[in-house]
Every structure is written in structure tokens, then in C-alpha cells.
A and B are shown apart, each in its own frame.
Chain A
């Protein structure tokens, strides 16, 4: 029971993080391997606001989100757009965007190391027990979970109910046809890329409320987000959310039942099983 609840609480933030990557990969068609660094940057921002100005991480989000949006939007406009234009094939774009975002991730790590140093960081915010089903849990986990779920829902309804959201989904399904019906695909892609970065950074701010982090931990989160997005079926948000919870549960179970050092190994074993048996993802449609 304990494992289930802790796992679900963790899964909320994972869902948010993975949705950010999904927007970037699904709509803008860029597999952003600097996604984890964006998350860590969100964590550092929340940490900085809290320790230097006593600003609650939940309020910090109001600054983190627009900053991350602008940063990622610029990254798309400056670095990624050029690659999209230059690419002669999908494969070439894939390789180039992988290499470019790897480069960006290392540069972000380098910058964060220079700014904050290489130690581990954490802060205590809302570190009170909160009783759920007769068991005490840390309040910060519960609050972070509720916020994550709130943002997921907002994003989900925005994508499904608003005009702009539907435009994004159209580009995700078929960029060429979207271009033909008058959608400004480059700008929508930049928007999705920026939005994805913002969502991930918010996920990072929420995670920082209860996890310890350091400048170079981003790659671990990138891997988790990638595993979630691919397992969930690249275009399906519901799949992503579900898999995020599965991953949260699996990690918590492995960490408490076997060994905390094996969490990533657990994620990868899940990933391998999916690759072997359902490469299109749990909810992905089997294509050609």
C-alpha cells in the first residue's frame, strides 16, 4: 500500500516531465535529449527562489514556466529550425537533432556546474507529515502530485478543446497536410517546443520539493522521460500519463523491495520488454 501511494505520488511529476518531451517530439519532431537538463534547471530555479528569497516553489513556477518557454522557443528558432530546413530526410533530421540536443545538454550541465557547483542540493519545504489512508506521507510529495495532476489536466483539455491545442495535434499527426490547410507549421512547432520545455521545467520545480538533485543528474531524467514517451506510444497523452504512473510504481517497488540502486535498471527492463513485444507503445497504434 505504502509502495503504491508513494509510486503514484512520484508518477504525477513523471507524467508532467514526459508530457513536455512528448510535445517536443510529437509536434515539433525533435527528440530533445536536453530535456532532463531543462528539468534540472527548473529544480535549480525553485531552489534558488526558495533559499535566497524564501519564495515558495509553487509561486516560483510563475516565473520558471515563462522563462523556460522563452528559452526553449529561442533554442528551437536558433538551433532546431536550421536543422529542419537543412534536413534532406527524416533520418538525417533525427541524427542531427540527437547530436545537437546532446550538445545543448552538455552545455547546460556545464553552465549549471559553473553557477551552482557539483554538490547535491535539496531544501525543506512543507516537510510535514500528511495522513493518507491511515499512513503518514510527506506533505510536499502530496502537494507536488496535486499540482502535477492539475497541470496535466489543463494541458490535456487545452490540447483537446481549444483551437490552438487542436492545431498542435494536427501538426503532430500530419505536418505536411497541416501545412497545406494553412497552418503555420514552423511557428506551431516552435510554440510546441517552447511549451514542452516549460512543462518539463515546471515538473523539475515540483520534483525539487522532495528529491535531491545535482547539476549532472539531468540525463537520468531524460532517459526516464524517453522511456515513458516511447512506452506510452508517441502520440497518445493518456498512454504517457499511464506509463508515467507505471514507472513511478515500478521504481518505488524496486527501490524498496530490492535495491534503491536499481531504479533505472527497472525502467530499462520495462523498456526492453516493450521494445520486444509492442514497439509501437502500449497504446500506440500498430502502423505499417
Chain B
């Protein structure tokens, strides 16, 4: 593991009108670690990912990735620098089939494939996420979990350096969850940095090297999952909002 910093948040703030969704947040995510972002609903986790991926503009502060500032760049520029993501609510391309949906991730981004190579990469990604044989189906015929798989495959198509997963495991049953956890830890062994937003404590314990807990837009604890999850402030933050 190298020492370089994959993502560095420096006084990152985001206001929506009067509401401060992310409030002067400071933390670093190291290269090639699986980093967890946890906290009750509405605490600002998705907003943090949106700020990284350029979907939202920062109100103040900056985000630095591998010594280069990425805040202020467009989503497309950030994607081309090797940051890709999935969305909390899956976003499919409904008029395209499964293969085309996945291929869309590997044509314009960080790593670009063409023709035969593209086809090979798509097939490889489908076998990785468990969609073999479904390539020609219309995307609307897939189950929810399969759509999540498509989205993960699409995000991985460009061989990103950093991948952001927003509640990718949510809504899966226990068996699917196991498969999902294995999938995600597989990604890190390909040398990528993985940022996960999750609610499922077991998943966080088994996946994450380190994590950070957010509450009302602020970070309230940072460290190894076991330490953090036993922290009193964290427990009360979760209980306070009535969310487990």
C-alpha cells in the first residue's frame, strides 16, 4: 500500500439554501483502501459523493485527488480522471440493452475501449458481476439486484482509480449481500480505492479498513470500523435519529 492520498477533503461545505448538508468536513481517504461513509439518513453522505463526482458544486472548501484539485471540475472531467460511481437509486439507460448499458461506462471515461476490446471487456465485466447470458436483454426486464449489478459493471468499465458506491448493498437479501461483499472486496484487490456508503454494520465491519461517521453534515468519528462503531457519540447519533 502506498502512502498517497486518493481523496482529501479540506473544509468541504455544501449549503442548500439555508440547510447545511455538509459542514466543514476534513478527512483523507488513502490509496487502495476501502473506506466507509456511515451515518443516519439525511446526514450528508450522498451529498459528499455528489461533491466528489462533480454532480454538485462545493459551497466552499476543496477536494484533492492524488495531489490534483478536482473540486470545480465537471463530472465528465472528474470521470476522466478515474473517479466513477453508482447512484443510491439506480440510474439505467432504459432504451439500451444490458450490454450497451455496461459498455457506456468504458467508451468515454478514464480508460477507453474500442470495438473488439470493448466487447471483450463488457463480457468480462458481465461475468464478474454475475450477468452472463443476460447481455441482450432490455434493461427494463432486469430485477432490481441485476440493475445494481449493471450499474456496478458500468462504473468499473473504465478501470477507475476510485469508485464510489452509494448504498450499493441496500435492498439485497442475505445471500445476495454475501455475494455483494465479495464483489466489493474483489474490487479493492484490483488496486482501486473504494468508498462505500452503507447502513449495514456487518458489511462495514467486514469490508472497510477505515470509516467515518457523519451526523447532520459533520464528521463525528473517524477510525477503524470496530472502534468507531462502539463510539458513544456514534451510537447516540444513530439512536437519536431512531435509525439502526
Report which A residues bind B (CB closer than 8 A). 285, 288
Distance (Å) between the CB of B44 and the closest chain A CB?
A: 15
Interface residues on B, range: under 10
Would you call B17 and A288 a contact (CB within 8 A)? Answer: no
* Contact status A285-B17, CB under 8 Å: yes
Collect the chain B residues with CB atoms within 8 Å of residue A285's CB.
Answer: 17
Main secondary structure of the interface of A (DSSP, over half): loop
Give Cα distance in the complex from A285 to B57, angstroms. Answer: 14
Does B56 have its Cβ within 8 Å of any Cβ on chain A?
yes
A288 to B57, CA, bound (A): 6
* Binary flags per residue of B49-66, CB closer than 8 Å to A gives 1, else 0: 000000111000000000
Of residues 50 to 94 in B, which have CB atoms within 8 Å of A's CB atoms?
55-57
Report B228 CB to chain A, min CB distance, Å: 30
A285 to B17, CA, bound (A): 8
A285–B15 Cα gap in the complex (Å)? 12
A285 to B18 CA separation, bound complex (whole angstroms):
11
Chain A residues whose CB sits within 8 angstroms of the CB of B55 once the complex forms = 288
Residues in B with CB closer than 8 Å to A288 are 55-57
> 4 nearest interchain CB pairs?
A288-B56, A288-B57, A285-B17, A288-B55
**Which B residues are closer than 8 A to A by beta carbons?**
17, 55-57
Contacts between chains A and B (CB distance < 8 A), count: 4
Question: Closest residue of chain A to B50, judged by CB?
Answer: A288
Majority SS at the chain B contact face: loop
Cα–Cα, bound, A285→B19 (Å) = 14
Closest B residue to A88 by CB, please name it. B94
A285 to B56, CA, bound (A): 15
Q: Within the assembled complex, what's the spacing in Å between the Cα atoms of A288 and B21? A: 13
Distance A288 CA – B58 CA, assembled complex (angstroms): 9
> How many angstroms between the C-alpha atoms of A285 and B16 in the bound complex?
10
Q: List 4 A-B contacts (CB under 8 A).
A: A285-B17, A288-B55, A288-B56, A288-B57
Chain B proximity of A4: nearest CB distance (Å):
36
Q: A87 to chain B: closest CB distance in Å? A: 14
B56 proximity list for chain A (CB < 8 A): 288
Min CB gap A262→B, angstroms: 37
Q: Tell me, rounded to whole Å, the shortest Cβ–Cβ distance linking B141 to chain A.
A: 17
Question: Quick one: closest A residue to B55, CB to CB?
Answer: A288
Tell me the complex Cα distance, A95–B17, Å.
Answer: 28
Q: Chain A: which residue is nearest B56 at the CB level?
A: A288
Least CB separation from B17: chain A residue: A285
Minimum C-beta distance from A105 to chain B (A)? 31
Q: Tell me how far the C-beta of A228 lies from the nearest C-beta in chain B, rounded to whole angstroms.
A: 24
Bound: A288/B55 CA distance, A: 8
Q: Residue on B with the closest CB to A285?
A: B17
Q: How far is the CB of A93 from chain B (nearest CB, A)?
A: 16
Nearest Cβ on chain A to B12's Cβ, whole angstroms: 15
Note all chain A residues with C-beta closer than 8 A to B17: 285
In the complex, A288 Cα to B17 Cα: how many Å? 10
User: Considering only CB atoms, which chain A residue lies closest to B57 in the complex?
Assistant: A288
Q: Report the Cα distance A288→B53, complex, angstroms.
A: 13
Nearest chain-A residue to B94 (Cβ)?
A88
Assembly CA distance A7 to B168 (angstroms): 58
Q: How far is the CA of A18 from the CA of B161 in the complex (A)?
A: 50
| Distance to closest chain A CB from B138 (angstroms) | 15
With a CB–CB cut-off of 8 A, which chain A residues contact B57? Answer: 288
Closest Cβ neighbor of B14 among chain A residues: A288
For residue B57, give the distance in angstroms from its CB to the closest CB of chain A: 6
Closest B residue to A286 by beta carbon equals: B57
Distance in Å from the Cβ of B41 to the closest Cβ of chain A? 15
Chain B nearest CB from A116 CB (Å) reads 46
- Bound Cα distance from A285 to B59, whole angstroms: 13
Q: How far in angstroms is the closest Cβ of chain A from B20? A: 14
B237 to chain A, nearest CB (A): 24
Q: How far is the CB of A193 from chain B (nearest CB, A)?
A: 26
Nearest B residue (CB) for A173:
B17
- How far is it, in angstroms, between the C-alpha of A20 and the C-alpha of B192 when the chains are bound? 54
